[in-house]
A and B are shown apart, each in its own frame.
Chain A
Amino acid sequence: MKILIVGGGMGGTILANNLARKMRNELKSGKASITMLSASDKHMYQPGLLYVAVGKMNPSEMYRDQVSLLEPSIEFKVDPVTEFNLDDNNVRAKSGTTYNYDIIVIATGSCTHAEGTPGLAEYAEQFYTEADAVKMYKKLEAFEGGKVVVAVGVPHKCPMAPLEITFMLVDYFKQRGIWDKVQLHYTYPIGRTHSLEPVAKWATPEFERLGITYETLFNMKEVNENVVMSEEGTEAEYDLLITVPAHKGMQVIEDAGLGAGGFIPTDRKRLNMEGRDNVYVLGDTTNLPISKAGSTAHFEAEALAENIASMMTIGTATRDYDGKVFCFIEAGDGKATYAMFNYQNPPDPKAPTAGIHMFKTAYNKMYWASARGLL
């Protein structure tokens, strides 16, 4: 059985490593093979970008060689896919090579799409690539005071990012001693300050305590040099605009006609592409109405690894993905909390503590054990 994993992010990497361990005997005997195709030989710890943007992490800390994270039995190639031929069970990659498979897992992720909002890429600072995070930090360093607006697009990767960057900006300005010269204004697309109601109930009084103003039902329409306008007809003037921009799936997915916006229609429990029983989808690449977050890809990958291994050994899947998501929430002032939920159980976040912040700081290093499928 040839298993082809397209994408070397968190979901693809955990899946590959878990499969390699569960199918050790099959791989050793040659009955199965695992090949991973990725666009890069490096693996980035993407949550690190948030810290890079406020000068709390050096970019070099975010990377490991992808091959160093993978079990030796996994064949790894830097050869991004350019064509998906799902009817013929093969893909074609940038090198011109055609890769055949029995099972394919597509985990190509998502990327920002600031260009979809006129003026946003030109005028706003963002932090979803190393270059953008470093640029944002340099902009912050040059900022001496004024109105800072946080504006959020839909859909976006990491649902906690809008709140986290807001609270981390408060810390940053306080540490520079210019907080009294800053007016921080937070905007959000729906009618409360976060999509999770319990999180919004915690965040809103925090905003009021810190003097952060906010406007809800604010969806960016257009950005000019000093003002961002909403689809709802309001405006927010700014001296510095920070954005969590809208995201889209990778262009190759859209070009192949696999899903609108680059997001593939996916069964919410078995994670197969709708209408296909040998095509699976992980993480941001799905169209599932759940958080686009590393933990989503992580827990999906664990379930899918069990199912692919059991299909190999007993001929059928044994586990449903239950919708589990776990998100840390950096709350500023050296504290953090978390939200954990699944399809059936809503989150119940607790008050932020220094202990959870310390655990999150530790997880920034422990991530590499997660990617190896050990944690």
Chain B
Amino acid sequence: MADRKIVDAKNTFCPGPLMELIANMKQAEVGDELAVLSTDEGSANDIPEWINKMGHEVIESSEDSGVWSIVVKKTK
């Protein structure tokens, strides 16, 4: 199974969940999975938007008690 790193960006506003994901993606290897945890409702849209534009893959997206979990895979 691929490594799955948790990017815990709950309750943070700057630089924010997407910027944290971008920074972590730069350190990740192709095939790695990253799970971004965010309390920003906008993450459910802006993270998939960037992932799709980059050609990476959204594995799953869910919400529980105000925490969004978006799992993505680095594909290139």
A-side residues, CB < 8 A to B, are 116, 154-155, 159, 189-191, 195-197, 217, 219, 231-233, 246, 260-261, 289-291, 323, 325, 339, 341, 343-344, 346-347
Contacts and interface: CB of A to CB of B under 8 A. Distances in A.
Interface in B18-45: 18-20, 22-23, 26-27, 42
Interface of B: 7-9, 11-20, 22-23, 26-27, 42, 46, 49-50, 53-54
B74 to A, nearest CB: 12
12 contacts: A154-B23, A155-B19, A189-B22, A190-B18, A190-B50, A196-B13, A196-B14, A289-B12, A290-B15, A323-B11, A323-B12, A325-B14
Contacts of A325: 14
B49 A260 contact: no
A159 B12 CA distance: 13
A231 B23 contact: no
Where chain A touches its partner, the secondary structure class is loop
B16 A195 contact: yes
Given A190-B22, A232-B53, A155 B27 contact: no
Contacts of B27: 260-261
A289 B15 contact: yes
A289 B9 contact: yes
Contacts of A290: 12, 14-15
A196 B49 CA distance: 18
A154 B19 contact: yes
Contact of A190 (B8, B9, B13, B19): B19
A347 B15 CA distance: 12
Contacts of A116: 26
B70 to A, nearest CB: 14
